[in-house]
Structure 1
Amino acid sequence: MRKTSVAVLFILATMFALQVACRKADALKPDDNPDSEWLSGGSQTAFDQGSGAFSHAFGSLPAHLIRVHEIGDAQFNATFVSAPAPLNPGLGPIFNNVSCGSCHVSDGRGKVPGLGESAANMLFRLSIPGQGEHGNPVPVPGYGDQLQTRALLGKSREGDVAITYTDNTYKFADGSTYNLRTPTYTFTGLYTTMPGNVMLSPRVAAPVFGLGLLEAITEQNILENADPDDRDNDGISGKANRVWDVYSQKTVLGRFGWKANQPNLLQQVGAAYNGDIGITSFLFPKESSEGQTQFDSDPNSKTYELSDSLLYSTHFYVRTLAVPVRRNVTDATVVAGKALFISAGCAKCHKPDMRTGVDVTMPQVSNQLIHPYTDLLLHDLGTGLADNRPDFLAGGTEWRTAPLWGIGLTQKVNGHTNFLHDGRARNIMEAIMWHGGEALSAKNKVNNMSKKERDALVSFVESL
């Protein structure tokens, strides 16, 4: 009788636990409709709202691909050291950081440095006027196309950048105020003279989840939203960037990076290893220091510091990171905020819905309705956000529409709310009010909203 009672209690406890789990799941996933807007990443949505929300693998990977993802995860977070070394050799000789995960902390967004901190999650693009052989920015003699702020022991770093901010106060139409901070960047500690016509563009590390789904959107679907001549006269003239694919040796559509200057994830990963960490691969066999006056290197070397298998495993890891589930979709304030987001015109660039193409080699990303809130196109955001540095077809005032999915979890995952390409915005409303150019009309509509409406708009964005 005692055993039976224990068994019954165990069954009842198990049933209760399952009911609680189901209620929790229902709170996140109200139905099994694959087109539900709760499912930001379609079937590759991760049901996690905590500090690890950006770091989940696709849920439908078979066991052997989960192992590849895990190898890539370890490689993404591996710390490189100077050669010779038994593990992860090849760092530098000049570099910005020692691992992918050091910039993309928890697979999320980098932050701007505070007072006395180094710019560990930032990098600084460099170029001089003109176009390279493939339409690319022209590297700076003696420096290349990226300022290397760190160096191995006994070597000299290229220099650093000091960041200062000027705060300015503005008013909404209802009289309430907001502040925007304008950054100023100053070169410091340069190892040699910098040309006077150098163009500098800061970059904060962007989140890396969901990129495999964005890569799976067909070129045709992206170009359907392009309107470079604004033929419909709505003030929105998104255009595609055309960039150089180092593997296929041809000019193709750009879709990754703050200016859509990378064509695919493999090149994005290889370029980051090379430019940020000083690691060579078959895609980028030359050291990032090559051609700079303080270093000697062998341009004919055939020895790569990163094996093909590890490069591809890191690429696979980034390609198969799931998207966090949306929150509070049916909340009345969030619903009202969504209507304001659309009526203000924000959705004209931050497209809520995209569908991936059919990919028989990767069914996990195939034919998925996703909600990234981007069109992956370039838009003129005005002089306030301009870096005045062209990048292939991207002009000095143009930026790729940043995906908004997962943005509301930035504080929880990364411990800050620094937004925009250089992290100048300290919250979502500041990011909105920095918009100009093609987004000026939307910004003005937000400016004329009541405080209740503005709060609802922010609540909606935070639910993404």
Structure 2
Amino acid sequence: EALADPDDEDKNGISGKLNQVWDLATNQTVPGRFGWKAAEPNVHQQSMGAFAGDMGLTSSLKPATDCTPEQNCAQFPDGGAPEVTDKVAGFVTFYAKSLAVPARRNLDQETVQRGARRFNEIGCAACHTPKHTTGQVADRPDLSNQTIWPYTDLLLHDMGPALADGRDEFLANGNEWRTPPLWGTGLVNVVNPQAGFLHDGRARTPEEAILWHGGEAQAAADRYRQLPASDRHALIDFLNSL
């Protein structure tokens, strides 16, 4: 909330805004934090949404799945009895919330340190905010008051027409995306050599992902293009260290 500047009052060209979404468990509007457009309020609801939308499995939070016209869904309009029990749902949520991010690597390399400086200097950190402190999490002291380095502001930004999907989600319009965290970027292709970057995987490398940036990020992308080759490589070394 402190980082949000939807009307760009500081005139820096960055106008991040907080999505406001519906919490199914509490029946109220709350800040959105998860998903490509920050349309989910918490890990539990995102996980149950994935069960329903990606796997066709119902839960008490998501008692119905997406139904196409070709399917005969009239027989089970509510999706039938929940296939994911509350106990299993709790296990999955606890597991997802407890996963640690990978440790940073190559911090002492000169190119990594220089890349970190260029990352800040050309404006990447205006949206990919490096550091935050977590709040108080009920019954989870291990997650509370932790200093983290996710490189995101969790806000929505207009990324320009080239990345637009024309799809609204709550307050997010078709041009807007949540700033994705960058921690773990350097291991994406170690885990899956075929993985791509950006919301639809169109970028084959972190550098291609940078060059696709438009809208509010256009100025930073242009500054990246103008860097000497050695500094561009250093910035990529920095991203790969995350």
Query: Would you call these one fold, judging by a TM-score over 0.5?
Result: yes
Q: Counterparts in 2 of 1:268-283, with a 5 A limit?
A: 268-283=46-61
Q: Which residue of 2 aligns with 1:294?
A: 71
- The corresponding residue for 2:85 is 307
1:245 and 2:23 are equivalent in the alignment:
yes
- Matched to 1:247, the amino acid is A
Query: What residue in structure 1 maps to residue 40 of structure 2?
Result: 262
**Unaligned stretches of 5+ in structure 2?**
none
Contact 1:410 1:416 in 2 (8 A): no
For the Cα contact (< 8 Å) 1:240–1:377, is it kept in 2?
Answer: yes
> 191, 195, 203: which one pairs with 1:425?
203
1:197-236 C-alpha deviation (Å, 9 max, x unpaired): xxxxxxxxxxxxxxxxxxxxxxxxxx00000011111111
Q: Is the 8 A contact 2:63 2:78 kept in 1?
A: no
Is 1:462 the counterpart of 2:240 in the alignment?
Answer: yes
Q: Does 1:446 align with 2:224?
A: yes
Matching residue's letter, 1:412: V
Letter in 2 for 1:385: L
Contact 1:274-1:287 within 8 A present in 2 as well: yes
Deviation at 1:300, TM superposition (A): 5.5
Q: Per-residue CA shift, 1:98-122, capped at 9, x if unaligned?
A: xxxxxxxxxxxxxxxxxxxxxxxxx
- Say whether residues 1:341 and 2:119 are aligned partners: yes
Cα gap change, 1:417 to 1:288, in 2 (>3 Å): closer
**Is it true that 1:332 corresponds to 2:121 in the alignment?**
no
Give the whole-Å Cα distance in 1 for the aligned partners of 2:226 and 2:79: 61
Matching residue of 2:145? 367
Deviation at 1:389, TM superposition (A): 1.2
Listed as ranges, the gaps of 5+ residues in structure 1 are 1-222
Asked whether 1:396 is paired with 2:174, we answer yes
Q: 1:427 to 1:417 in 2, by over 3 A?
A: farther
| SS at 1:315 equivalent | helix
Q: 1:393-431: CA deviations, max 9, x gaps?
A: 101110000000011011111223510000000101100
Q: Which whole-Å CA distance do the structure 1 matches of 2:121 and 2:79 have between them?
A: 57
Larger Rg computed on CA atoms: 1
Q: Give the TM-score normalised by structure 1.
A: 0.51
Cα 1:360–1:279 change in 2 (3 A) is closer
Offset of 1:445 from its aligned partner? 0.4
- TM-score normalised by length of structure 2: 0.96
Q: Is the 8 A contact 2:58 2:79 kept in 1?
A: no
Among candidates 157, 161, 174, match of residue 379 of structure 1: 157
1:351 shift after superposition: 0.6
Shift in Å, 1:366: 0.7
Query: After the TM superposition, which of the residue ranges 335-344 and 406-415 deviates more from structure 2?
Result: 406-415
Q: Aligned runs of 1:79-98 on 2, under 5 Å?
A: none
SS at match of 2:20: strand
Distance between the aligned counterparts of 2:210 and 2:58, measured in 1? 39
Matched-pair contact (CA < 8 Å) for 2:111–2:234? yes
Local SS of the residue matching 1:286: coil
Query: Are 1:338 and 1:460, in contact at CA under 8 Å, matched by a contact in 2?
Result: yes
After TM superposition, the structure 1 = structure 2 runs for residues 56-135 of structure 1, keeping only pairs within 5 Å, are none
What is the CA distance between 1:294 and its match in structure 2? 3.1
Q: Which has the higher strand share?
A: 1
Aligned length: 241
Percent pairwise identity: 50
Report if the CA contact (8 A) 1:350-1:373 is conserved. Answer: yes
Amino acid at match of 1:351: T
Select the residue among 71, 75, 94 that pairs with 1:316: 94
CA apart distance, 1:449: 0.7
Answer yes or no: is the 8 Å Cα contact 1:446–1:454 preserved in 2: yes
